[in-house]
Amino acid sequence: MEKYYRTNLKRWNELVGIHARSEEYDLEGFISGRSSLHSIELETLGDVRGKTLLHLQCHFGLDSLSWARLGARVTGVDFSDTAIELARSIAERIGVEANFVRSNIYDLPNALTGEFDIVYTSYGVLCWLHDIDGWGRIVARYLRPGGTFFIAEFHPFAWVFDDEDESELRVRHSYWHSADPEYYEGDGTYADMAAKVANRGDYEGQHSLSDVINSLIKAGLTVAEVREYPFTVDNAQLKFLEKGDDGYSRFRDQAYDIPLMYSVKAFKPFGP
């Protein structure tokens, strides 16, 4: 996995600057007070004032800092040193206290101690991980007894389709996880499709919905709720989508009635 990790790290270190300048992330709007959070996570987690929150795979920390603005005591984690540097500088600029740690998911116990009231992660994070059961164990490791885990993520079923032919969706990729991730190469990024990048390649993997849920169960968590959504936060996810007034994107053709996102809420039980 070291080759995959190095390739993805180089690309994400480069993407930080592109994303920070993009309209999609609207960094200046965020600095002026805009929240980057969506109704799904806000309604599910509710009032976070005074709670400790660990944000896994936080990129350059806009969601992390949005939670901090709502009163949570936040720690954000990302494997990109460039992303963590920017997150710290944004926190300082807006005067919001947050802790940011540079680490990949699996090495996090070497860099961070303690337990949290909430462990949170969202939108386009699991495809970069090769060991979903290991991820579940990390989630459980950092969740205090009685604490809440929440993930909102793009639905793995939506990723089986190829949208290069704009006349129809066609099945191209397997729904199931494979030991070796797929290699993709090209310019552009979901935040700026016209961007030119030096590190054009990345490796991504697929994790079925059952893999994700079972990883949490095997790690000792109690799954309280699973939801699936016919809309997405990412308008660039497929070419067949259009953004609605509520900020979510849906298929223009209602015949494509498939899930685009899902969420899981789980708890860590108290003692035996």
Condensed to tens digits (0 to 9), the pLDDT of residues 137-147 reads 999 999 999 99
- Contact 74/56 with Cβ under 8 angstroms? no
Identify the pLDDT of residue 254: 83
Mean residue pLDDT of the chain comes to 94
Residue 272 predicted with pLDDT over 70? no
Across the chain, where does the E strand assignment appear?
52-56, 73-78, 99-102, 116-122, 143-154, 161-162, 170-171, 182-185, 201-204, 222-229, 241-243, 249-251, 261-267
CA–CA–CA angle 119, 124, 130 (5° rounding): 80
User: Which of 3-12, 109-118, 133-142, 247-256 has the weakest average pLDDT?
Assistant: 247-256
Q: Where are the domains of the chain?
A: 2-155+207-232+259-267
The predicted model gives 182-211 an average pLDDT of 92
- What is the reported pTM? 0.96
Condensed to tens digits (0 to 9), the pLDDT of residues 165-185 reads 767 888 988 999 998 899 999
Identify the pLDDT of residue 164: 77
Q: For residue 235, what pLDDT band results from cuts at 50, 70 and 90?
A: confident
Class of domain 2-155+207-232+259-267: alpha beta
